[in-house]
A and B are shown apart, each in its own frame.
Chain A
């Protein structure tokens, strides 16, 4: 049950989150500019939205699933402390 939950949640560590955030930003801004330039040069709106669509699909495949590369820096939790019995 918790395995299914983990699968759907797709948790990644903090370094992975930063990488994912940067990847999304660069990929979307870059592919928007590229798709405009390509479409304008080839005078075709199909080329524009085609490249944008392909870029988005590729980005989703890279960023959405919790790939192992996003879990390379797990959080180092401090060791648990024993309860001290008070007098």
Chain B
């Protein structure tokens, strides 16, 4: 500590250790928050239409269009270490070959506690299509609202806020909208 440079060196050395310990304790503090909020999810209507993809104009495949209604109060998930929530609506079903499919059809990023009260009547944001090009003979699907809590410091945590009570069938493909 004999010169200014030596004092700067010692100060910053202890400071960097203190900051790392502080960040570690902030990350650990997230463990005491065990909120598990639940909401409601219902599917208003679902339609299946054949269509073409822009990339492969000669290929027709079936697209599903889902109208849903989701309400949830996710404010308990916001604590001092929550940066944002990533919400996503998933369609879970087994395809004709018996393989489990999870398709994200809608998502939202929630950055503030005030925006964490979800009341959405919407439709799927992303194309809902099956690998087999058709939804014929596909077993009914369950839809769920899942969330991902993204902290400022720490591990990502996941949870499920809402789920459809019964599985929803995929209707027959209709040619006209």
Contacts and interface: CB of A to CB of B under 8 A. Distances in A.
B22 A64 contact: no
Contact of B11 (A9, A48, A60): A60
Nearest to A56: B15
B80 A25 contact: no
Interface residues of A, number: 31
B11 A36 contact: no
A17 B22 contact: no
B80 A40 contact: yes
B8 interface: yes
Nearest to A9: B3
Given A29-B18, A40-B80, A48-B26, A24 B4 contact: no
B26 A10 contact: no
Interface in B1-60: 1-4, 7-8, 10-11, 14-15, 18-19, 21-22, 25-26, 29
B7 A63 contact: yes
A9 B4 CA distance: 6
Contacts of B18: 28-29, 32, 52
Contact of B3 (A10, A25, A45, A59): A10
A18 B164 CA distance: 68
Nearest to B152: A45
B25 A36 contact: yes
A25 B14 CA distance: 7
B101 interface: no
Contacts of B80: 39-40, 43-45, 48
A29 B11 CA distance: 11
Contact of A28 (B2, B14, B26): B14
Contacts of B14: 24-25, 28-29
Contacts of A35: 22
A24 B21 contact: no
B79 interface: yes
A12 B2 contact: yes
A52 B81 CA distance: 17
Interface of A: 8-12, 16-18, 20-21, 24-25, 28-29, 32, 35-36, 39-40, 43-45, 48, 52, 56, 59-60, 63-66
Given A10-B4, A28-B18, A64-B11, 10 more contacts: A9-B3, A10-B7, A20-B1, A24-B7, A36-B22, A36-B25, A39-B26, A40-B80, A48-B22, A52-B18
